[in-house]
Structure 1
Amino acid sequence: TFPTDFERHHDSAVDTPWSLADPREVRAAFRDYLDGLMLAARSGFDGLIFTEHAQASYDMSANPSLTAAALAYATESEGLDVAIYPAGRSLGKTREPVRVAEEYAAIDTVSGGRLMAGFPVGLPYDACLNNGIPPIELRPRFDENLALILREWSEDTPFAWNGSYSQLPSVNIWPRPQQRPRPPVWLTGIGNPATMQMALDQDFGFNYLSWFGLKTTGPRIFDRFWELVDRHGSPRNPYRLGLSQVVGVAGTDAEAVRMFRPHVEYLFNKGPGAIRSETLAIPGTIGLQGLQALMRDPTDMGIAEKLRTIGFDELVDMGSVIVGSPRTVLDRLVEVVRRFRIGNLHAMLQFGSMPRQLAMDNIGLFASEVLPKLRGVWQDEQWDHHWWPERLGGRPRDVTTGAAAEGAAR
């Protein structure tokens, strides 16, 4: 844990002094992180989701393939049928797209076909400051790297690649993914219409985070997404959309507030709130469509500018976090997923400065008292889930044809 005044003197990414860290605490944090994910797998969760943030003190996950590989092996060894979902390898920053394709293919192989492949464009500070990518290259590099990876997974014979950022005489990865022609692909974004449109055009899932306050951002981001779905001529299948939501569950509402308040404030004040806003919006990193959307209405970013100093009560009021008894949490989550047609809820149950036991209790209570009652939210509409591993009940489409027609399950 950092000093109480950390956010007044330091940023949480790029240049955070390592001298503030205790290596023993860092080692324990990694073990607790993996133990929490394995507890979730043993407790009946459908999947395990984790992120990528390099040179960041608030989320030490420079390469989520490491976490994915560990979980793929451990869950397969224990017979735990859960999806393995690294929400990122940021493709806008990588100079090694072949390695990314190989790593994900290996993870899909070890897990027996349970990978969900997350590919965010990438945070500007990470791509441009940490990795030296020119800002104007961020989006086109992502586009090219993604196209290359998808081709690497689907083709059975070697091919040459002559792109703007990679020139490769022979591309022939070993192994190929178990899931054919490819694992489900998911994009995480903050509401850029171009990212949403790509998800629709290529039949990817789209994931959004609650951090900026769903009370403000939810109607804008999700209503925009479903309007694009309508224009695209696709059905409003809720399973094409995901939400990552910070959640704290305790016996009563009062107990939950008391237990989670300091850890929620620690997460937001010393984590995303302590990233300088100018490093998240470096000129040139946002394409024209996204820039136009921001200029028309900057409320897409919600309470982002306040996160360094914001308090618990406002975070709850704005929907950045949901905290309470099992009944309170369930009611609020059902309200959110129904209002915005969210078919994949990613509950963030291990966050901030939470001690190990509190995180484990949060995971366990959510699994026993909330999760079972959430499963049937969309059963009445009987949709197929096309963005989920087939081994786990997903119904993949023939993505090679680009088919968009779909109806309710029969």
Structure 2
Amino acid sequence: MRFFFFHLMPYAPLDPDYDKIHRSSWVTLPNDYYDPELGAELYNRYLDELEYAAELGFEGIGVNEHHQNAYGLMPCPNVFAGMLARRIPATAKIAILGRALPVLANPLSVAEEFAVLDNVTRGRIITGFVRGIGAEYHSLAVNPTESHARFHEAHDLIVQAWTKPGPFTFEGKYYHFPHVNLWPRVYQEPHPPIWIPSQGSRETIEFAAAPDRRYVYLQTAAPAATLFRTMQGYRDEALRQGYQSSPDQLGWSIKIYVAETDEAARREARPHIESFANKFLRMPQEMLLPPGYTSLASMKGLINSRKTITGGYRTMEQMLEQGTFICGSPQTVIELLAEYQRRGGFNLVMAGLHFGTLPHELTRKNLELFAREVMPALKGAVPGEVPRVAAA
């Protein structure tokens, strides 16, 4: 099992009563809720936590991209990766999970930025490409019905810029470049690893598992039952395409809290994981999944899955039962992660060890206990024979 520390950088001082007036912490929440003085303190604190995780021995640290919300203050993950690149140990990777390609006006700039980071870190960059959840299309005024086509075209442009000798011409439906001639070239050959975080759409799994890509598929924001189905879906798609996938092609992004005992862990985590689920993640369904964003078949599956994520008030007990949160003593967390790995067949864990309003001292404690007690017990763990479930 391989471990990364993932940070969302939420605006923790958010007025918890905002939802008495506003439907969502995304897109339409007035920005006068944001205090720049508090925000400046938060940014520096969160960067400290990411650097500390790298010092503790995580294989890497993860940042991501969201726009116009209190849930995650990272509209430009490449900037954060750049700030971290020279400050973390040379053994740690930086996973940018990921750039929302369809909402970008110029994907070639992403190719350039990643190439710079790849050179500065001497090949420690992991690139993540996503379509972005529906809220990003509302924020940046992009037609969601074009999401898939724009994603594939932007992906192809970036990969060609990394791998084809330049200059060459790129002519697509959405992007037109008479001169693609990347300076600098990427450091890693043939290009930095590409990971595909997703909520579990069928089209994304098929894209990631294609034999000419074999990208890491990272399941996000889903109950354990959905995790098992999507992991099976990836393995089945790989077999259909003529190869057997590796557990290193499969990962899980999951919120985790560790304390000395189960009782202490639940007591300390409760207000902060419930604030994450019920305040920061709050948005109406039409904002999350706007019409045309995905196929009808995938839409049905995502709506059913997301009912357990965004529908109604969610208690910590419900999240633990659904498998959207892991909480307990080191031994409890070890046993749960081992069982989820056995049933899911993944090797990569993107551990969300900060969430919601979790304060700095508890975040450091969580990081330390996880790195000292949990990671050493599971670093050699492999899935073995995975029990079959119905694929997504």
Using the size of structure 2 for normalisation, the TM-score is 0.90
Q: CA 1:136–1:48 in structure 2 vs 1: closer, same or farther (change >3 Å)?
A: same
Q: Which secondary structure does the structure 2 equivalent of 1:113 belong to? A: coil
Aligned-partner SS, 1:2 = coil
> How much has 1:232 moved relative to structure 2?
2.0
1:294–1:136 distance in 2 versus 1, CA, 3 Å: closer
CA deviation profile, 1:97-154 (whole Å, cap 9, x unmatched): 110100011111111101111000111221x211121122111011100000000000
Q: 1:207 aligns with which of 201, 209, 218?
A: 218
Deviations 1:351-409 (A, max 9, x none): 1101111111111110000011111012979xxxxxxxxxxxxxxxxxxxxxxxxxxxx
Cα offset for 1:271? 1.5
Q: Where does residue 48 of structure 1 map in the other structure?
A: 61
Residue of 36, 47, 65 corresponding to 2:49: 36
1:178 and 2:187 are equivalent in the alignment: yes
Aligned residues: 370
Q: Which amino acid aligns with 1:42?
A: E
The one of 118, 122, 138 equivalent to 2:128 is 118
Provide Cα deviations, 1:7-65, integer angstroms capped at 9, x if missing partner. 34321111111222222221111111111110110000001112111111110000100
The CA deviation at 1:168 is 1.1
Alignment of 1:156-305 (within 5 A): 156-201=165-210, 202-209=213-220, 211-214=221-224, 216-272=225-281, 274-287=282-295, 291-295=296-300, 298-305=303-310
Aligned-residue offset at 1:297: 8.4
Partner of 2:350: 346
Question: In the superposition, relative to structure 1, how do residues 231 and 379 fare at CA in structure 2: closer, same or farther (>3 Å)?
Answer: closer
Unpaired stretches in structure 1, ≥5 consecutive residues: 382-410
Contact 1:16 1:56 in 2 (8 A): yes
Q: Which has the higher contact order (CA 8 A, sep 6+)?
A: 2
Question: Is residue 191–residue 300 contact of structure 1 (8 Å, CA) maintained in 2?
Answer: no
Name the counterpart of 2:160.
Answer: 151
Distance 2:379 2:321 in 1: 25
Aligned residue in 2 for 1:363: 367
The yes-or-no answer on 1:4 pairing with 2:12 is no
CA drift of 1:266 comes to 0.7
- Alpha-carbon distance in structure 2 between the residues aligned to 1:379 and 1:355: 34
Q: Which runs of structure 2 are paired with 1:48-127 in the superposition (5 Å)?
A: 48-75=61-88, 79-126=89-136
1:21 to 34, 52, 61: 34
Cα displacement (A) at 1:241 = 0.6
Residue 168 of structure 1 aligns to a residue in which SS? strand
Deviation at 1:301, TM superposition (A): 3.0
Equivalent residue letter for 1:59: G
Q: 1:226 to 1:9 in 2, by over 3 A?
A: farther
* Shift in Å, 1:296: 6.8
Aligned residue type for 1:208: Q
Query: Do the aligned residues in 2 keep the contact of 1:92 with 1:142 (CA within 8 Å)?
Result: yes
Q: Does 1:337 align with 2:349?
A: no
Q: CA RMSD in A?
A: 1.7
Counterpart contact for 1:349–1:362, Cα < 8 Å: yes
Aligned to 2:4: none
- Gapped regions of structure 2 (runs ≥ 5): 1-12, 386-392
- Cα shift at 1:223: 2.3
Helix, strand or coil: the match of 2:141? coil
Instruction: Please state whether the residue corresponding to 2:186 is helix, strand or coil.
Output: coil
Structure 2 counterpart of 1:132:
141
Aligned to 1:402: none
- Cα pair 2:93 2:126 within 8 Å, conserved: yes
Instruction: Mark the CA change 1:72 to 1:347 in structure 2 (over 3 Å): closer, same or farther.
Output: same
Letter in 2 for 1:80: A
Q: 1-side partners of 2:303 and 2:35: how far apart? A: 39
Q: For residues 142 and 298 of structure 2, what CA distance do their matches in structure 1 show?
A: 24
One-letter amino acid of the structure 1 residue matched with residue 309 of structure 2: A
| Residues 109, 177 of structure 1: 8 Å contact kept | yes
CA contact (8 A) 1:217 1:301 kept: no
What's the secondary structure of 1:175's corresponding residue? coil
